[in-house]
Structure 1
């Protein structure tokens, strides 16, 4: 089992478990800026119950690692734009003449937790991560062999997965939306159920592979055959499957680049742009700029998704990163359609 000292000293070990950002909220609620994605140095210090100077010194020592995991220093026009979208926090806490602002993604905050030695909160996060890593390593993995009953097992897995995705998870979403003091417990229970659903999807995929089927090709073919209207409804169904509520497909010419709206189970607003393009075409930066402007500047949504059946140009990816738009390219869309949960919605 990996020990805490090894985690503090090995960047490779830290990288292996940086996806588990849910560990932050399992230990203590992490408050975010109005954009729903970032925190400032002062907010990181408050979460870990240390001084802001301690966080700044750690940032200097591990700048390259933290920047690779979502820490960004904003200056100039980028800083002014970010502050205009987060006025309520920035004006109350910082001087007007500020020249730069360091912000951290949830992944970067988790990275800090694995580097910060003199914080009890950071230690608790590391303990939680190590416990989860130990369970993942020690849990027995079954290796099913193709038998006469494998097809029947696959049908059972699909039926159970359908029941979990269509009934149990939506039930928990409804309870979470109306609950008060038990909200955290309900979210944890829903996560456990989603993990079961994910394992069943994995099990079904292995059985299909052993039997010679190619699920990925089937998903790809279905997406390719969709009209743009059918594609938007498909994405809306994926949103609902992942727990979103009040999902509306606009399908109007006056949508300002927003095709679908909704809310996540925890109340965050969602806006989606869908692009159904075949061949080797890519999403140009102009389309991304239009959507980012509508989602961020006009509607001020919490989660902005750009979903495409193709890939994104380098310019459009740069615009998405700068404006906080989550891109879902062809490969990610196929995985999402095959049953993988979209992390941006969790």
Structure 2
């Protein structure tokens, strides 16, 4: 058994030595060819080095530019959040029109375009119109109700009608309170974004409007939140 193992080790060493010798011969041959034909190939060699250098420099500049622009966008977003931040108590004290203007500001902060307030006596169920950052048209209904109120499902149906009337891609309901169970269910069944009081707080604190879709329909406050709400509002 020992003799077999010894022969295997010797064979492995021979193969390794043969590979090293072959590599050395190949390397030496390459050097000889390079020296012999240097007068012919040197322009191509230098050109390849220049091309690699230019490509590397261009990639570095591109990465640096993206880093700087990304930092600038983040700074501008953070400043916009600070400038437009309101406590929920301040939001509760707003008039209906002021609340609509507040929602318009949040939309513009997040990169929405063509955002305008259209609320009024003949608003056809819409308070704000515009386009999301990805280009989809949106229609928003805003309700500044007291926190102990509930948004009924009929108001969600009105918003769905406004979505069809304005040919919008996305319908969004923004409220300073919470939705009734049927209203939230209706929103989920019809692919509507229901922004209740907790989500409004997230949005006001810097979360983007599009990111709220990830928490849409996942509940309206935990047990401790509901207890605090009952203590405050009875």
TM range, normalised to the smaller chain?
0.5 to 0.7
**Any stretches of 5+ residues in structure 2 without a counterpart?**
1-65, 214-234
**CA shift at 1:332, angstroms?**
0.9
In 2, the alpha carbon distance for the partners of 1:189 and 1:271 equals 34
Q: Please say which structure displays the higher CA radius of gyration.
A: 2
- Which residue in the other structure is 1:127 paired with? none
- Which residue in the other structure is 1:196 paired with? 74
Equivalent positions of 1:193-272 (< 5 A) are: 193=71, 196-197=74-75, 219-272=87-140
**CA shift at 1:279, angstroms?**
3.2
Q: Kindly indicate whether residue 189 of structure 2 is the aligned counterpart of residue 284 of structure 1.
A: no
- Which residue in the other structure is 1:110 paired with? none
- Which residue in the other structure is 2:189 paired with? 322
Runs of 4+ residues over 6 Å off in structure 1: 188-191
In 2, the alpha carbon distance for the partners of 1:298 and 1:252 equals 16
Residue by residue, what CA displacement relative to the aligned partner does 1:132-183 show, whole Å, maximum 9, x if unpaired? xxxxxxxxxxxxxxxxxxxxxxxxxxxxxxxxxxxxxxxxxxxxxxxxxxxx
On the 8 A contact 1:198/1:340 being kept in 2, the answer is no
**CA shift at 1:223, angstroms?**
0.5
On the 8 A contact 1:264/1:345 being kept in 2, the answer is no
In 2, the alpha carbon distance for the partners of 1:285 and 1:191 equals 44
The total of aligned residue pairs comes to 145
On the 8 A contact 1:242/1:345 being kept in 2, the answer is no
Residue by residue, what CA displacement relative to the aligned partner does 1:30-64 show, whole Å, maximum 9, x if unpaired? xxxxxxxxxxxxxxxxxxxxxxxxxxxxxxxxxxx
- Which residue in the other structure is 2:207 paired with? 340
On the 8 A contact 1:232/1:260 being kept in 2, the answer is yes
TM-score (norm 2): 0.55
In 1, the alpha carbon distance for the partners of 2:185 and 2:201 equals 23
Q: 1:336 to 1:200 in 2, by over 3 A?
A: same
In 1, the alpha carbon distance for the partners of 2:73 and 2:120 equals 36
On the 8 A contact 2:113/2:133 being kept in 1, the answer is yes
**CA shift at 1:198, angstroms?**
9.8
In 1, the alpha carbon distance for the partners of 2:204 and 2:102 equals 9
What's the RMSD between the two structures over aligned residues? 3.1
**Any stretches of 5+ residues in structure 1 without a counterpart?**
1-187, 205-215
Q: 1:197 to 1:321 in 2, by over 3 A?
A: farther
Equivalent positions of 1:26-65 (< 5 A) are: none
- Which residue in the other structure is 1:143 paired with? none
Q: 1:287 to 1:241 in 2, by over 3 A?
A: same
